[in-house]
Structure 1
Amino acid sequence: MNPLKVYQWHCQPQFFRISRNTPLLSISPGLKFPLKTFTPPSFFNLLLLSSFRPSLKISCVSRAETSFFDNKQEDDSANRLSKLEDLAQNGVVYQNTLRLVECSMFAAVTGLVYFLSNSLSIENYFGCFFSLPIVISSMRWGVAAGRKTVVATAMLLLVLSGPLKALTYLLTHGILGFTMGSMWRLGADWSLSIFLCTIARSMGAMGYVITSSFLIRENILALITINIHASLTLIFTAIGINTIPSMNVIYAIFGTLLLLNSGFFVFLLHLLYSVFLARLGMKDSLRLPRWLEKAL
């Protein structure tokens, strides 16, 4: 036995070298091969041997790192989110949303009821309630909310029934409801409120007469004044007064009757709406006369 070869074999690094011709199952840990039979291992054999090696799990402790957001930035972001998404019951976002929903609901209900009442010819039975949603919106959310309710109702009627019905509602009920709601919201006396509402009702009635005259190509205002003139002439003749009233007197009588009619209607609306709103729990927001406050 050549001692030089033995010395060289012991000095080499101790790792397995598998021959390409040697089967993998015949290898045992204690088997020694001659030096000349060892060849460089293939990649496939190394891959098979690596699957049998024991794996050691090395655990390490991660170092503590500072967070990306500090406390100041978190507080600023939280305050910013609280301002943008303040959904509390007394928050700005919640109140604006509630105001928008209520105004839309009142406008939709008013437009639908007015449309159905005109379609079924029962407008005279529900005419006193068409201004109530506008008054409630103005009392709860301010004058701007009442104005938005009027505009939304008129636009809805414009889509459903056309411009004539929308203009009729605006002249007969919209202006009156907005005026009454604004006066009640501002805390005005009943005398001032009734006076301004009477003027608004009279102007709306005159506007409705003028609009109707334009549509039917007939002067309805002239027909009304002529009929009043003829009626007064017959009355004076029956009494024995040989006087023919002038047209200025006829116009004055017509204006007085219109104001009286509007005034009585507005006064009844004030009574009706006061009782209705008091039953709804809004009595503290109303400025009622003493006799009516004692009765309620």
Structure 2
Amino acid sequence: MFSMNPLKTYQHSSSFFFSISKAHTTLHTHTSLHHSFLSLPSPAPSFPFRIKPPLSLSPLSFPTSSNLLRVSNIGVPVFSSEEHHGEEEDNNEVSPDLSPNGLVFQKTLQLVECSMFAALTGLVYFLSNSLAIENYFSCFFSLPIVISSMRWGVDAGRKTLVSTTILLFVLSGPVKALTYLLKHGIVGYTMGTLWRLETSWNLSIFLCTIVRALGSVGFVLVTSFLIRENILALITINIHASLTFVLTAAGVNSIPSMNVIYTLFGTLVLINCGCFMFLLHMLYSVFLTRMGMKSSLKLPRWLERAI
């Protein structure tokens, strides 16, 4: 049988409880220091070449339940409902550039109208060539360019001319596009520019006649190059033969020279183009007057009274 010594038992139990209390005290001290370090205020911002102030420790304090459960301070909201509502109203307002009188709106409307006029002219010209009725609608091929120039300026007329030529180049090829440009496009652009500048009818008809005559001669030269035949020479030779026959039948024994034939040919072309442009001026004046653009036109007195 083993005998138990009461003195040794007491010493052993005393040392055991002492070590437990010491460990508990140490753990509690470390926990308190940890919470105190967490609650320390953040140091002030430091600048270069400035000595940081010494770190001062606040006295140890036990954290309360309110501090433990509190995550962050309640701040002021960044966006309020009133500000958000005001931003929505600002976004819903129409920008001054997008208003009917704004610059962006007017440029967009100009571009749309020029595109529609170019598409309409290209389609009518393509169909008239395909159905061989070009002579019946040739007087209307220059009208969209004149309307664009009168409504939006010379720049709009040039855009309509270029757009129509490119469209015909894609649809019908370079020959048809060049034919439209020489016989109708440049004439319409010249007329629209002169009418936009409010020039007189005499000057407008004279300049448009010269442009139309040059375009007709250019068309003949282009056709001669394509078919490898000098059409201009054939025309002048036929005129010379016809004039010689008329003079011989009248009893005149003189034969006209080729310079006279060229002069006569040019005069006849100018007369033909002048009559055509005079009729075109009258027709377009009636159209633009019916469209409500009479105030932008500078018409002769006799025509203004008739309209």
TM-score (norm 2): 0.71
Q: For 1:147 and 1:131, how far apart are their aligned partners in 2?
A: 12
Query: Shift of the alpha carbon at 1:67?
Result: 6.3
Which residue number in structure 2 is paired with residue 238 of structure 1? 249
Q: For 1:235 and 1:112, how far apart are their aligned partners in 2?
A: 45
Query: Shift of the alpha carbon at 1:66?
Result: 7.5
Mapping for residues 1-296 of structure 1, pairs under 5 Å: 64=76, 86-296=97-307
Q: For 1:145 and 1:171, how far apart are their aligned partners in 2?
A: 19
Query: Shift of the alpha carbon at 1:82?
Result: 6.9
Q: For 1:290 and 1:268, how far apart are their aligned partners in 2?
A: 16
Query: Shift of the alpha carbon at 1:115?
Result: 0.2
SS at match of 1:288: coil
Question: Which one-letter code corresponds to 1:184 in the other structure?
Answer: W
Q: For 2:150 and 2:256, how far apart are their aligned partners in 1?
A: 47
Query: Shift of the alpha carbon at 1:65?
Result: 6.2
Q: Deviations over 1:24-74 (max 9, x none)?
A: xxxxxxxxxxxxxxxxxxxxxxxxxxxxxxxxxxxxx96656769xx9xx9
Q: Deviations over 1:160-185 (max 9, x none)?
A: 00000000000000010000000000
SS at match of 2:97: coil
SS at match of 2:199: coil
Query: Shift of the alpha carbon at 1:87?
Result: 1.2
How many residues are aligned here? 229
CA RMSD of aligned residues (A): 2.3
Question: Which one-letter code corresponds to 1:227 in the other structure?
Answer: N
Q: For 1:63 and 1:179, how far apart are their aligned partners in 2?
A: 72
Q: For 1:65 and 1:235, how far apart are their aligned partners in 2?
A: 104
Query: Shift of the alpha carbon at 1:213?
Result: 0.3
Query: Shift of the alpha carbon at 1:86?
Result: 1.8
Which residue number in structure 2 is paired with residue 12 of structure 1? none
Q: For 1:262 and 1:233, how far apart are their aligned partners in 2?
A: 26
TM-score (norm 1): 0.73
Q: For 1:211 and 1:66, how far apart are their aligned partners in 2?
A: 74
Unaligned residue ranges in structure 1 (runs of 5+):
1-60
Q: For 1:62 and 1:238, how far apart are their aligned partners in 2?
A: 117
Query: Shift of the alpha carbon at 1:107?
Result: 0.2
Q: Deviations over 1:52-104 (max 9, x none)?
A: xxxxxxxxx96656769xx9xx99xx79x976x62111000110000000000
Q: For 2:264 and 2:186, how far apart are their aligned partners in 1?
A: 24
Residue identity (%):
69
SS at match of 2:256: coil
Question: Which one-letter code corresponds to 2:140 in the other structure?
Answer: F
SS at match of 2:137: helix
Q: For 1:182 and 1:62, how far apart are their aligned partners in 2?
A: 71
Q: For 1:285 and 1:124, how far apart are their aligned partners in 2?
A: 30
Q: For 1:288 and 1:176, how far apart are their aligned partners in 2?
A: 19
Which residue number in structure 1 is paired with residue 36 of structure 2? none
Q: For 2:195 and 2:187, how far apart are their aligned partners in 1?
A: 12
